[in-house]
Structure formats: structure tokens, C-alpha cells
Chain A
Amino acid sequence: MLPFALQKAGSVEEAVTAGAAGWRYIAGGTTLVDLMREEVERPDRLIDINALPMNDIRVEGGDLVIGALARMADVAAHPEVRRLQPIIAESLIEGASPQLRNMASMGGNLLQRVRCPYFRMLDAACNKRTPGSGCSALDGLNAGHAIFGTSEYCVATHPSDVAVALVALDATMRVRGPEGERSFPIEQLFRLPGDTPHLEHTLRPGELILELRIPNGAYSRRARYLKVRDRASYEFALVSVAAALSIEGDVIREARLAAGGVATRPWRLRDCEAALIGRQATRQTFEETARLATQGARPLQHNHYKVELLPRTIVRALEMAGEVA
């Protein structure tokens, strides 16, 4: 690991001032320390934000509000999270291992770097790690890579599970930077790679994630997260789906759908959502609407299976959400 300076922030203001001056925030460190050891990440200055009062979990006006420093394990075990937004607990427990969930913060989870093996392989080409060097995944081992939102410069999937649920549920985040606070939908945090894959999110210099806010919908208590992967735990998704339905009688009134493991950012499936509204909650409806999800898919040499696996996962996730709706 290359040498760096380490300091502790005593207040949000101190942290933001440091962030604006180029200090890099560190919370759980589960991604950053790993990448620094591999010298994929080479920050010179780290500011430890763990002492900041940003780890509370509360209900406010029906919304669930989660501090950015709340640990994945604490959020997943929290009674109000499990009662109001069980999909948040479900998607968190499907991610990482218990030890990692005890360490990793919610804000850090959303900012974690990709798991593309070439990103971590210093002798491979990677435009995300070294802009302009090329992309070894394009013609390499790309079975785990994206079929949506890709470019000729990057095809890595976004690795977070809970981000998929947060995007499906129209969650927002509040951040503070040198010029004050702002809130925006979490979906807007994530950039498409385009020709600048090294730029992964839309935070401005020094901006610190303060908290996440998840609105309460008619579907919230019935939303489900289904993750398909090569082993039953402690593995990243091949395909995952967050599904939420509000059903009256047997007619779908509201639907929320997003997919993970298939795109360069958490992938909201708005065409499928629109097609579900007003229809009967049957397997036939789910199968017909799930087909819409793969329009525009651009599979690579080894990940064609995702074009088939995605609609199947959507159907099953909708069935799971329908069972509890």
C-alpha cells in the first residue's frame, strides 16, 4: 500500500472542508482499503468520517430515513426497516458477508467500485482505472458483465444490491458540499460510463452523503428482492430484481421494478412498470411484461444468458411480490 495521511473529522463541516480540499472520505473501508492495498486506488489523504453523527435510522412523515454511516447489518436488523421497507433488509442481507455488513456503511455501499476483474488487475487494460488504456473485458471473460448502459469503453456492472432496491423505490439522498445541501433521487447518483467511465457518480467535489430517504408507497411493505447467483450466499448477482406491486382486487395499481447485475448502473425498468398497470396480477401478465425488459440489450460474447435470465428473474420476483401483495 502506498503511504497516505489519515485524519479524523470532528464535524460534518470539517469533513466537507477536507473533502473540498481533496481529502478522500473513508467510512467502513471495505472497498477502499482493499483497492488501496492492490494500488488500484491511490489516495494520498484520507479523512475518517466515522465519528460524525450520521448513523441514525428513523421514520419521518412516513418515510424511512437512514444515515449514510449506518452499517449494513444494523439497517438490515432494524425493526422499522423490516416493518416499513423489508426489501431494504432483504437486499442488504443478500449482499456481502456478515463481517462485511458489520463494517460497510450505507453511503459507502452506494459508492463501491465495480467488481470487474480487469479493474483490479493492474496489468490489464481498464478505462475506469487508467483512462484511455482500453477495456480488457470487451473481448475477455465477460460472462458477468452488463447488457445495458454499456459503451465501447466500459461494460462493468454496478455491484450494489441495496442500490437496486433504492432505485426501484424512488429513494433520494441528501448530501452536503462546500456550497450547502441538496437532495436528489439516488438513481441520479450513478453515471453511465459513456466515454468517461472513470467518472462513476454525480457528487460534486467535497460532497458528503448525509442520509438516504425512502418514501412509503402502497407497495412498500410487500416489495421483494430476488438475487440469482452462482452460489447461495456471499456472491455478486448474475441478475437481480427488486419488485414491488400494489394490487387491488386482482388488478395491479402500482408497480416498481429495477434490475441489478445487468447494467452499468442500477437499472430501473419503467417500460415494464407501465405495462403492468391496470392488468391482472397473473403469471401471463408477468411473462408478457417481463419481455419488455430486454429491449435494447447488447450482450457480449459470454453473457447472452442474461437476456434470458433477466425476464425469468423478473417473473419470479413479481410472483414473490404478488404473493405478499
Chain B
Amino acid sequence: MTASEHEGPVEPLRGRCSANAISRRQILQLAGGAATVVALPSGAIGAVETNAEETFPMTSAQLTVNGQVHQLELDPRQSLLDALRERLGLTGTKKGCNQGACGACTVLVNGKRVLSCLTLAAMHDGASIETIEGVAAGGDLHPLQAAFIAHDGLQCGFCTPGQIMSGLGCIAEGHAGSPEEIQFWMSGNICRCGAYPGIVAAIADAAGRT
């Protein structure tokens, strides 16, 4: 809800659109005082700190990933997906569409399957996260992993970690009663080739040479 969406003085499309009354610089200054994602100190909101640096503060969060505790300083923009892959080196979770449409980034957060690309890592302070790297116990594959291999349930394999994490959620939710039910409840995981950008780039490259 931006201020411009609220009820109140309404500027019609005729003439100039309503510009924010507050400049970006001022907003940057407003935000400059806070240090971490913690409860707001009373009076902090709306206070103008004229000498603040024009940077947004990092935030801290403790994430328990596959049973291991990590204390992270995070850029608020960092998605859970990017924190897993780039900060913790857990690259089993895949970045597919990065906009919540394909399911390749599915992980379990506090036991529930979610899309790690559409959630900010800093908002998961204290959460317990399970990724594909934590599914196998010791050297033994999880039965669902073994079943994917036994039934040839993967081709290029890019979507497979997300499919498996989502499948774990689907089973835990009790939605694996029939092939039709499984199809419906797995519809958030799209199996496609992940190479579209490379294909486009290759065609563009080739077109430039001929």
C-alpha cells in the first residue's frame, strides 16, 4: 500500500500524476538510523535524521538450515534463495524463473513448502529450513529421492530438487492419495528446460554472424 493508493485527495489522470511528496533522498535519510530487523524503538518511525548515511542498513537473521545454525548479516533485498545459494553455498536449490512461477526453488520453511525466491531471507529470523541437501540421511537417499530415480522422474534434473521438496510437502499434507490429486497439488512445480535464456542468446549470437 503506497501512499498514492490510499483514499484521500485523488489526482485524476488529467494533468500530472501525483508525485511522492517526499524525495528519495529524504526517504534514504529516514531509513538510515536503523541497524537490524528488530522491534522498532518507539519514536523511530518518521524521525528525520539529517546526518544519516544514504545507505540502507543490513539486517541480521539466524537461519537453521538442515539442522545447522547460521547467523547472517543480510542485505534486505536478498531472497532466501540467494542466501541459501550464495551465502551458504547450498546450490541444490535451483533458481528457475525467480518470480514464483516454476517451483524450482521450493524449500521447506518450518516444515511447509514455500518458494524461496519470493521471500526475503531477513524475514526468516529464527526459522528452520530444509533444502535438498538435507533430505538424504547420511549416505542413504530419502525414499522419495530413490523413487525419482527408480521411476525415471527426471530428465535434465534442473527442476528435480524443487520437485522433491514439494513432493515431501505434498505427502506430508496428505495430498498424495491419487495420481489426479498429486497432479493438482504438485501444479506449482513446472518441469521445463532451464536453458531458454541460453538458447535465445545462442540464436542472437548466431544471427549476428550470418
Are B77's CB and A4's CB within 8 A? yes
Are A98's CB and B185's CB within 8 A? yes
Are B100's CB and A23's CB within 8 A? no
The answer to whether A33 and B120 touch (CB under 8 A), given A3-B77, A199-B5, is yes
- In the complex, how many angstroms separate the beta carbon of A19 from the nearest chain B beta carbon? 7
| B68 at the A interface (CB under 8 A) | no
Cα–Cα, bound, A19→B1 (Å): 9
| A295 at the B interface (CB under 8 A) | no
The answer to whether A100 and B59 touch (CB under 8 A), given A24-B1, A45-B30, A233-B187, is no
Main secondary structure of the interface of B (DSSP, over half): loop
Are A204's CB and B188's CB within 8 A? no
Are A44's CB and B39's CB within 8 A? no
Main secondary structure of the interface of A (DSSP, over half): loop
| B37 at the A interface (CB under 8 A) | yes
Cα–Cα, bound, A203→B6 (Å): 6
- In the complex, how many angstroms separate the beta carbon of B8 from the nearest chain A beta carbon? 7
Are B40's CB and A204's CB within 8 A? no
Are B14's CB and A198's CB within 8 A? no
Cα–Cα, bound, A205→B2 (Å): 8
Beta-carbon contacts under 8 Å, B154-185 to A? 166, 169-170, 173, 175, 183-185
Are A8's CB and B76's CB within 8 A? no
Are A202's CB and B7's CB within 8 A? yes
Q: How does the 8 Å CB contact mask read for A69-81 relative to B, with 1 for contact and 0 for none?
A: 0000100010000
Are B113's CB and A200's CB within 8 A? no
- In the complex, how many angstroms separate the beta carbon of B43 from the nearest chain A beta carbon? 9
Residues of A within 8 A of B66 (CB): none
Residues of B within 8 A of A18 (CB): 40, 45
Inter-chain CB contacts under 8 Å: number: 178
Most interface-central of B13, B38, B79, B103 (chain A CB within 10 A): B13
| B22 at the A interface (CB under 8 A) | yes
Residues of B within 8 A of A21 (CB): 45-46
Most interface-central of A102, A153, A234 (chain B CB within 10 A): A102
Beta-carbon contacts under 8 Å, B53-82 to A? 55-57, 59, 75-77, 79
Are A7's CB and B37's CB within 8 A? yes
Are B40's CB and A34's CB within 8 A? no
Are B40's CB and A7's CB within 8 A? yes
| B18 at the A interface (CB under 8 A) | yes
Cα–Cα, bound, A17→B183 (Å): 45
Beta-carbon contacts under 8 Å, A23-56 to B? 23-26, 28-30, 33-34, 37-38, 41, 43-48, 50
| B residues neighboring A (CB under 8 Å) | 1-8, 10-18, 22, 24, 27-28, 30-31, 34, 37-40, 42, 45-46, 55-57, 59, 75-77, 79, 98-100, 103, 106, 112-115, 118-120, 122-123, 166, 169-170, 173, 175, 183-189
Inter-chain pairs besides A8-B40, A26-B123, 7 sampled, C-beta below 8 Å: A3-B56, A20-B46, A22-B22, A44-B31, A97-B103, A98-B113, A196-B12
